[in-house]
Amino acid sequence: MQSKPTFRATPVTIRTPASSANLGAGFDSLGLALEIYDGYAAQVSDEAGLDIQVAGEGAEEIRKDDKNLVIKAMNRAFDHMGGKPRGLSVRALNAIPHGRGLGSSSSAIVGGLYLARALVISGQERLTDQDLLAIATEMEGHPDNVAAVLYGGATIAWLEGGVGRATPITVNHRINAVAFIPESAVATSSARKMLPDEVLYKDATANIARSALMVEALSNKPEFLYEATQDLIHQEFRKSAMPKSFALVQKLRSAGVAAFISGAGPTVLALHTGSVTDAQEIARAGGSSFATQILGISRVGAHIYSPN
Ligand code: HSE
């Protein structure tokens, strides 16, 4: 049990990136941070109670009490660090679309943990990155998105005795992304229920080879992105929940574009090494069913951020 923490008297503001998980073959292990950011601000007070305001994506549906995911994560972090402040005021400005496979819940979880840590003097000694990742993984249920949100760039994540672990990969500067975001959401919990209990040995082998190749494709040899993003063990099983997204992945891949379902979907992500004009050309493939965003890879994970 840790001694009671000392809280910072001044407000803290942070940002967390969107994330794409799986990246084709690397189911539940590979993650990539993208340049869309949620912003969070918090301040402790001596007056008991919680004051929370949310703006932006999903603001109407999100709970504004201690069941809010950011607040739940903050409370987990405070408990880990030795105690909660008497009063807390939190502001969230969300830009990451919800339920689209772009890591909005991982952003909230890592954001809450990171924010609470930043409010504690020497918080990093009480809650290390490794602790933070372990709690985030437990809350999210899988480590791939939370790892990318915490570290930025691309990440390899795995479970060690059920505990989330991760290491970052330096992403080649030529790589950028196009996201095709459908209007309707798919809950990750439903998408996970669509997966089979077992996969064929040959399909598992194909995915192992490709996710190993993806590490090299992301860092040194982007020319292998197309081959490395081929998946045989999860996307097809989720097809009926996102038929238009699945069809778009096939259309893009037939044209030689390294496209895949982002996380549990239904967003489609395409990685490329071309110019902005090339990205615009790729984006046109989405037609009217998708909102497209031409995105850079976020080189940073969760970080203290001064809006001015
Ligand atoms: N790896 C997870 C899945 C990511 O595909 O279910 C969820 O965002």
- The CATH number of whichever domain residue 283 belongs to comes to 3.30.70.890
C-alpha span between 178 and 272 (Å, rounded): 8
- CA 188 – ligand 1 centroid, Å: 7
The alpha carbon of 147 and the centre of ligand 1 are apart by a number of angstroms equal to 12
Structure tokens at 75: 């409370």
Task: In whole angstroms, give the CA distance from residue 190 to residue 284.
Answer: 29
| CB 188 near ligand 1, within 6 Å | yes
Give the Cα separation of 256 and 91 in Å (integer). 43
Instruction: Give me the phi and psi of 55, to 5 degrees please.
Output: -130, 160
CA 32/CA 168 separation, integer angstroms: 10
Q: Which residues pair with residue 280 across a beta bridge?
A: none
User: How many angstroms separate the alpha carbon of residue 272 from the centre of ligand 1?
Assistant: 22
Buried b or exposed e, range 159-183, using 16+ CB within 10 angstroms: eeeeebbbebbebbeebbbbbbbbe
Ligand 1 atom closest to residue 21's alpha carbon, by position in its atom list: 4
Cβ-contact 103, 19 below 8 angstroms: yes
Mutation test residue for ligand 1: of 155, 192, 193, 269, the one with most atoms within 8 Å of CB: 192
Same-domain pairing of 182 and 214: yes
β-sheet bridge partners, residue 56: 94
| 48 and 158 fall within a common domain | yes
CA distance 43 to 87: 9
Q: Take atom 6 of ligand 1 and give the residue whose Cα is closest.
A: 264
- The residue nearest atom 3 of ligand 1, judged by CA position, is 264
Pair of tokens at residue 61: 């549906």
Position 1 scores a pLDDT of 66
Atom of ligand 1 nearest to the CA of 192: 6
Query: How far is the C-alpha of 167 from the C-alpha of 152, rounded, in Å?
Result: 10
Q: Please state the domain count of the chain.
A: 2
State which residues form the domain around 199. Answer: 176-295
What type of residue sits at position 121?
Answer: I
Query: Tens-of-pLDDT digits for all 308 residues of the chain?
Result: 689 999 999 999 999 999 999 999 999 999 999 999 999 999 999 999 999 999 999 999 999 999 999 999 999 999 999 999 999 999 999 999 999 999 999 999 999 999 999 999 999 999 999 999 999 999 999 999 999 999 999 999 999 999 999 999 999 999 999 999 999 999 999 999 999 999 999 999 999 999 999 999 999 999 999 999 999 999 999 999 999 999 999 999 999 999 999 999 999 999 999 999 999 999 999 999 999 999 999 999 999 998 76
Same-domain status, 271 and 131: no
Shortest-distance atom of ligand 1 to CA 28: 1
In which order are the strands placed within the sheet that holds 268-272? 258-261, 268-272, 176-182, 290-295
Question: Does the C-beta of 263 come closer than 6 Å to ligand 1?
Answer: yes
CA of 263 to the centre of ligand 1 (A): 4
Q: Are 76 and 181 contained in the same domain?
A: no
Can you give the pLDDT at residue 2? Answer: 82
Nearest atom of ligand 1 to the alpha carbon of 103: 8
C-alpha 90/C-alpha 140 separation (Å) is 21
Q: State how far Cα 265 lies from the chain centre.
A: 12
Is there a single domain that holds both residue 45 and residue 83?
yes
Separation of 6 CA from ligand 1 center, angstroms?
37
Whether 180 and 160 map to the same domain: the answer is no
pLDDT at 304: 96
Q: Are both 18 and 127 inside the same structural domain?
A: yes
